[in-house]
Structure 1
């Protein structure tokens, strides 16, 4: 994973995420709330009243676009592998394929499904952008869906566990965003991501120099 992150070039300047294969989004560097595309990002557990809130971008991980491509590519590859199983069974019943070849095809399909589950579990929790509202009470997390599209999840700042209270260290490849309520855990990388507003970021997650 670290090698993949190093291989992905960081985009210069404030360019935001792209929109791979009509699934992700493109966000203008001047106005991060201006979307180009046929559909807006989906929101999960969107609190009432947030439509009129102004959110400030505090963190961005530019390589999320590449992870979106990779997620979609993995879904397509797994689908093709699984679809090839019925023809393999038919060819085996007709004596056109050996039992070892059938087992190999089944093993490849099973491995592809297992990898898809693991990668989807991680990619759906990988943070691309973090926003905080003007009052500093709500955190908006932009991450990927199973299909590699953008989804936004809202978390009350009071429910977010400061990173200074966790066992994670900022030098690690990924650190966790956890909640006192035990809801969904997210992962962000301080090594390859960029903190755009350190003051607001500190208000939510604590002082970086106080991390364990």
Structure 2
């Protein structure tokens, strides 16, 4: 929570229409970004649909940077393992130093798995199509880039039925089918379109 407050102060106001760096935005019929979504990511029946932004989490850009930074740090740590074993066989480093290097690498890998699992479920932007039947969730990949996941609105559990509290740093977005679980922050995120947001997740005034 403290980290999110610092990020919010550093970020400052962001224009509503400005796309996040490293994330794509949808403008009319054109995708803007490093690559277009694959057919698996974008259902065929949404090709001609217009989506409206209903929620935005500005700090998602920072989390993307952290994800890529953690990948680089873990890779550098693991790369030193083979030379470490070689140096130990040559008597250049002690067994204690070798164990310390191995423990650091294992810890870095464990933290990478935990952080990547959380970051991939963190919601950056939410969109709803014109007819209000499809929810598009923009979140991060393992590599810290953007991915869009499409969910039927009818399958989304309203936040009013969730066991989470609106005052919590993160609330879960779940599906009745149990297919996906995402995390969004009402405390630090911004609901852009309250009417469409309420159609999907329930009335904000009714949240605990």
Q: TM-score range by the shorter chain?
A: over 0.9
CA shift for structure 1 position 17? 4.3
32, 42, 52: which is aligned to 1:56? 52
**8 Å CA contact retained: 1:176, 1:186:** yes
**8 Å CA contact retained: 1:44, 1:152:** no
193, 202, 205: which is aligned to 2:201? 205
CA shift for structure 1 position 38? 3.8
Aligned to 1:112: 108
CA shift for structure 1 position 33? 6.7
Distance 1:50 1:86 in 2: 49
Distance 1:32 1:76 in 2: 36
CA shift for structure 1 position 25? 2.6
1:46 aligns with 2:23: no
Q: What secondary structure does 1:169 align onto?
A: coil
CA shift for structure 1 position 184? 1.3
C-alpha distance 142-44 of structure 1, shift in aligned 2 (>3 A): farther
For residues 183-198 of structure 1, the aligned pairs below 5 Å read 183-198=179-194
2, 12, 15: which is aligned to 1:13? 15
Structure 1: 4+ residue segments shifted above 6 A: none
CA shift for structure 1 position 56? 0.4
Aligned to 1:153: 149
CA shift for structure 1 position 47? 2.6
1:97 aligns with 2:99: no
Distance 2:51 2:177 in 1: 23
Task: Identify unmatched segments of 5+ residues in structure 1.
Answer: none
CA shift for structure 1 position 45? 4.8
Aligned to 2:2: 3
CA shift for structure 1 position 67? 0.5
Range with bigger deviation, 41-50 or 91-100: 41-50
Distance 2:138 2:117 in 1: 15
C-alpha distance 93-15 of structure 1, shift in aligned 2 (>3 A): farther
C-alpha distance 118-107 of structure 1, shift in aligned 2 (>3 A): same
For residues 120-131 of structure 1, the aligned pairs below 5 Å read 120-131=116-127
Distance 2:29 2:191 in 1: 18
Aligned to 1:65: 61
Task: Identify unmatched segments of 5+ residues in structure 2.
Answer: none
Distance 2:111 2:92 in 1: 29
CA shift for structure 1 position 27? 4.2
**8 Å CA contact retained: 2:24, 2:146:** no
C-alpha distance 47-157 of structure 1, shift in aligned 2 (>3 A): same
